Amino acid sequence: MTDWNAMSDEDFRQEARAFFAKHYPEHLRYAPHRLHWNEIGDWYLTLSKHGWIAPAWPVEHGGMGLDPGKLIIFIEEQEAHGFARTPDQGVIMVGPLLIQQGNDEQKKRFLPKILSGEHIWCQGYSEPNSGSDLASLRTEAVLDGNDFVVNGQKTWSTLAQDGTHMFLLVRTDKTVRKQEGISFLLLDMKTPGITVRPMKILDGHEHFCEVFFDNVRVPRENMVGELNKGWSVAKALLSFERLFIGSPKTAQSALTHLEQLARLTGANEDATFRTRLMRFQLDLADLNALYREFSEQVRRGEKLGPDISIMKIFSSETYARIADFIVETGGSGALSDGPSMIGNEQAEVVAIFYESAPTRFSATSSHQVCSACHRVDVAILSSWPGLSRSSTSEAESQRYGCSREARA
């Protein structure tokens, strides 16, 4: 078995670059939206076959065991090659959670099938009236012998129509404080009583779903953690999610699209454009620094605290600003659904803006945000030692054409 961490960074980069160039399907490069299993599944299976599907998992659980530096290189090379995101909630969320909090039987039963692609996971958290206040969820699970009987509804479940399994939060005690009466279950989506209804969003795709449960039986052995202690389990899992969402991957992908678009439109010849591009590149360098800090905590087996949200905010609002600049760079001629013809080539403009839209709401709901440029107050970021450059300074606000007086 290859010890990837024993390689020099440059040797590992060349290894990853060669692997991706050889195996990644050319027609999937720079996909502007989330792909379904029937579109991206073969690539997932290729990664699985070669042992590259779980770069951050420990080696003893079937992963590559990459240290934070190598993991950053892995992500950078993926983005440089225009990777589409795979159905990865098993790899980035369920797997790390089970490694940390699952029992031995659950690890043995679920982890290998995540790696092999036999199990594709989706999330069952949000409900029609329980989004930001997730602890108010109403989907109920009642113990009946050795099974929970689940009734209720989940919404905004990403690619649930492709999922074979779901991890979900359910209410198992209505008599206690709302955070204390929740349990965490693992569910087979083939179980009778489940209805999945895809939802069409702004870009015309059906990435999200509503999921309905009508007397769905879930074995008690599929509960992670203790009864009524699922809120703590969920918080641990959300830390993994925030680590992934806060990674440089999405913003880097948007920046790659911006650079391609600038080449097609000739904007890269403009000095003002290049200055703004450089600022985004500096933000991404800061984001890389944050990611390394938090990744190292996970590698050491430490629990991620609430400060992980700093990185998620920073990543989300950087992605949104790049998406705005993509639309600006594309101009009015590119404002149409689907790919736009610029010169003799196609370029995605509006789809990336639509993809960034959820981050505008999820990343800024509880933080001070500039009303002029929608940037998170730099005072929040300046408290984190991983940020090293002007993004923590007073001058930073001027980078985006706004002032502190405009901040709400």
| Residue positions annotated with a catalytic role | 241
Beta bridge partners of 182: 171, 229
Q: How many CB atoms lie within 10 A of CB 408?
A: 9
Residues 6+ away with beta carbon under 8 Å from 182? 135, 137, 169, 170, 171, 172, 228, 230, 231, 234
Asked if 139 and 65 count as a contact pair (C-beta separation under 8 A), the reply is no
Neighbours of 324 (CB within 10 A): 16
Q: Tell me how far apart the alpha carbons of residues 305 and 131 are, in angstroms, rounded to a whole number.
A: 21
DSSP per residue, 141-173: EEEETTEEEEEEEEEEEETGGG-SEEEEEEE--
CA pair distance 98, 96, nearest whole angstrom: 6
- By C-alpha distance, which of 138, 114, 120, 96 is closest to 35? 120
